Amino acid sequence: MADPKRAAAALLEVENLTVEIRGAAGAVRPVDDVDLSIAAGETFALLGESGCGKSMTALSIARLLPEAADIVAGRVRLGGDDLLALPEARMREIRGGRIGMIFQEPSTSLNPVMTIGAQIGEALTLHRGLAGAAARAEAFRLLEAVGIPAAGARLDDYPFQFSGGMKQRAMIAMALAGAPELLIADEPTTALDVTIQAQALDLLARLQAERGMAMLLITHDLGVVARMAHRVGLLYAGELIEIGGREDFFATPLHPYARRLFAALPDGAARGGMLAALPGGVPALDRRFTGCRFAARCPRTFGRCHAETPAWHVVEAQRVRCHLYADGGEARPRRRTAVAVAAEANRSASEPVLEVRDLVVHFPVKKGLLRRVTGQVRAVDGISLRLVPGRTLALVGESGCGKTTVGRALLQLTPATDGTVLFRGATLGAHDRAAVRGMRRAVQMVFQDPFASLNPRLCVGDILEEGMVSLGVGGAAAERQRAVDELLERIGLLPEMRWRYPHEFSGGQRQRIAIARALAVSPRVIVCDEPTSALDVSVQAQLLNLMCELQQERELAYLFITHNLAVVRYMADEVAVMYLGRIVEQGPAAHILKAPAHPYTRMLLAAVPWVDAEAPPAGKDEKAGAAEPPSPLAPPPGCHFNPRCPLADDICRAAYPDARDLGGGRTVRCHRARD
């Protein structure tokens, strides 16, 4: 259903787009009768869960589909040109020229054996006819435009020499090299720190305003949509089900699926209760649907939903595909309300099960033929933490600040340079093998990337049983197998799935399996390293609910390493804010998130793309630091944050601040801290 109000001004028009992927079991239809339009200078956000067809829609527009996929119906017009009718030679000119693309993972999209300058120059030569000195000068200008410091020197660097945020900015520079009319950004900020994400989003918004580009933004992050989009399209199981302006969509989402996505968001209001997670998952697309595709998961379904495909209905400025709005049957809904939650459990502080004091982890830098030590990377530089049964400590900060190193050092997977580790009150010696073995049974880790941490050669049952055998728990083989079946049921999987391999599961299911592996040896502490990064909001809600239930049942202590402050607001009892190897602020989560004392904490909060007015007011008046964090190999003198701090003065540049007690269990290291 094309939008007649926008069709005349549209730069991109997609009509009835349908894609099929051929397979042995039949055709899969990941994109089914999709209509959308984008005007010059407008951002259209395509929102939905993994498997809904967002990326396939983008690949169809650029005609970059895999070999087994075909566009079987529809039309795609860019500025009047029918892209589906053009020969491939002409499309190669348009891709990277009139259409720029930013892919989800820059590490796999950048050529590792070519310098950044050469890769940008390649696009400039192909699409703008520049070569030699002219191409290098334009590549330099593009890197400067996207905020790469010392752009001239970085042109000759390779991708591995760039941080994650800088790689993403280099990808943006490459996408802009052809001066595109349309920019397709596929999850451009997934798994980036909040500060790097804020910089990337600000950069895209500025460049769009300067160049008048249309932008198709593909994301599952409602905060990014709230910050960037002019209009929103909600995609489910290959079909668009709601379209509207950003303000209308966030004020009054119409489709039951949209409302459930909002209800699944973690926030402070839901703390202590379960999130309204969507049951089940996106249906398989290898069949023809006779009714509403969301009916199996919808709380408001009725007979017509299963028998008849819903038509489009117009509700004021929005359009929705849902039977609830047929014949004016549904009034315009109220703005979403907070999820009803149970009273927070009384989790009083008790003796810590695991504690670290003055933990130091330095990595030597060796150079020369004799491999002499020429410096130290100060990954962790003297921090103290306490993990208490039944409570969650969130460790937050940017990439490279040392969060993951802390978690690995707790399990002695990375040797500590100095400091004391106490397990159940007793000092743990690095050479006491029996004590370390006991600690590793009680302290488990859930890694950020479950696919990389699960052995692809083992089926899930063997993965879960491996830890039991190694640590001598679980009894005989039959008992262990029963325990594995119970674990699978506990995380929402079927016992017969024990024979499947990791690649046969979705990302959310693999993360559940990683949690089950940690639970298999009955731990007391779980270190969770970014367990929800890159997960859809619905899958994230299911995972957080599971973790909360398990914590209440087993009195687990969590060290929750993350940069997602919305999850921190929902999960954490205490927060420790880490910057360049040191804790700069620590205390109860409610106090720190409501009234942060350290400028760095306020910068992190200001960088978060909050969905609505629930954003902590103390974080709104700070601007995210434009500079990259300093290297832990050579931290700046004085307060390490002073080069990025708007409040820094002479004392900040001369002396590192001592810990200051603010009362109520809060401490901060800042010469200019707010009380």
217-256 pLDDT per residue, tens: 998 889 899 999 999 999 999 999 999 999 999 999 999 9
Q: Phi/psi at 388 (nearest 5 deg)?
A: -110, 140
Q: How far is CA 584 from CA 387, 611, 622, in A?
A: 18, 27, 17
Residue 429 has pLDDT above 80, yes or no: no
Mean pLDDT (the chain, rounded): 86
Residue 4's contacts (CB-CB under 8 Å, 6 or more residues apart) are none
Residues 6+ apart with CB under 8 A from 372: 366
Q: Identify the pLDDT of residue 347.
A: 41
The pLDDT value given to residue 674: 61
For 454, residues 6+ apart whose C-beta sits below 8 A from its C-beta are 463, 502, 510, 513, 514, 517
Span 439-454, average pLDDT: 86
Question: Which of the four pLDDT bands, split at 50, 70 and 90, describes residue 612?
Answer: low
User: 334: burial class by Cβ within 10 Å (0-12, 13-18, 19+)?
Assistant: exposed
Give the burial class of 462: count Cβ atoms within 10 A of its Cβ; 0-12 exposed, 13-18 middle, 19 or more buried: middle
Q: Which tens digit of pLDDT belongs to each residue from 154-206? A: 999 999 888 767 788 888 899 989 989 999 998 888 767 788 788 888 888 98
Give the per-residue pLDDT at 604.
Answer: 92
pLDDT of residue 534: 67
Percent of the chain with pLDDT over 70: 91
**Owner of token pair 């796999």:** 108
pLDDT of residue 627: 60
Q: How many residues does the chain have?
A: 675
Quote the CA–CA distance of 227 and 254 in Å, as a whole number.
20
Query: What confidence score (pLDDT) does residue 617 get?
Result: 47
Q: Could you tell me the domains of the chain?
A: 4-98+180-328 (3.40.50.300), 112-177 (no CATH), 354-668 (3.40.50.300)
CA nearest to 54, candidates 295, 253, 200, 236: 236
pLDDT reading at 52 higher than 60: yes
Q: What is the rounded CA–CA span in Å between residue 607 and residue 596?
A: 14
Winning range, highest mean pLDDT, from 30-34, 398-402, 451-455: 30-34
What integer pLDDT is reported at residue 8 of this predicted model?
A: 45
- Please list the helix, strand and coil fractions of the chain in percent, rounded to the nearest 5, in that order: 35, 25, 40
- Taking the CA atoms of 318, 323, 328 and 330 in sequence, report the sign of the dihedral they define: negative
What span, in angstroms and rounded, lies between the C-alpha atoms of 553 and 522? 12
Q: What are phi and psi of 241, to 5 degrees?
A: -120, -10
633 or 534: whose pLDDT is higher?
A: 633
% residues pLDDT > 90 (the chain):
51
**Higher per-residue pLDDT: 588 or 166:** 588
pTM of the predicted structure, to 2 decimals: 0.81
Provide the 8-state DSSP code for 475: -
* pLDDT confidence bin for 375, thresholds 50/70/90: confident
Per-residue pLDDT, 348: 43
Could you identify the residue written with the tokens 């520049």? 130
Over residues 333-357, the pLDDT tens digits come to 544 433 333 333 334 446 899 999 9
On whether the CB atoms of residues 370 and 353 are closer than 8 A, the answer is no
**Region 521-534 average pLDDT:** 88
Looking at residues 580-603, what average pLDDT do you find?
Answer: 94
Given a cut of 90, is residue 650 above it in pLDDT? yes
What is the amino acid identity at position 318?
Q
| Residue 328: pLDDT band with limits 50, 70, 90 | low
Instruction: Note the pLDDT tens digit of each residue in 627-643.
Output: 667 878 889 999 999 99
What integer pLDDT is reported at residue 353 of this predicted model? Answer: 92
Please give the average per-residue pLDDT across 601-607, as a whole number.
Answer: 91
Q: 3-state DSSP call for residue 336?
A: coil
Task: Please report the sign of the dihedral spanned by the C-alpha atoms of residue 93, residue 97, residue 99, residue 100.
Answer: positive
Confidence category of residue 453, pLDDT binned at 50, 70, 90: confident
Q: Which residues contact 24 (CB under 8 A, 6 or more apart)?
A: none
For 642, which DSSP code?
G
Lowest average pLDDT, out of 67-81, 104-118, 643-657, goes to: 104-118
pLDDT at 621 over 60: no
Please state, in angstroms and as integers, the Cα–Cα distance from residue 248 to each residue in 54, 334, 335, following that order.
21, 11, 10
pLDDT of residue 329: 61
What does R_g of the chain's alpha carbons equal in angstroms? 26
Buried b or exposed e, range 199-208, using 16+ CB within 10 angstroms: bbbbbbeebb
Across 265-274, 370-379, 400-409, 435-444, which has the greatest mean pLDDT?
400-409
Residue range 608-635: mean pLDDT, rounded: 64
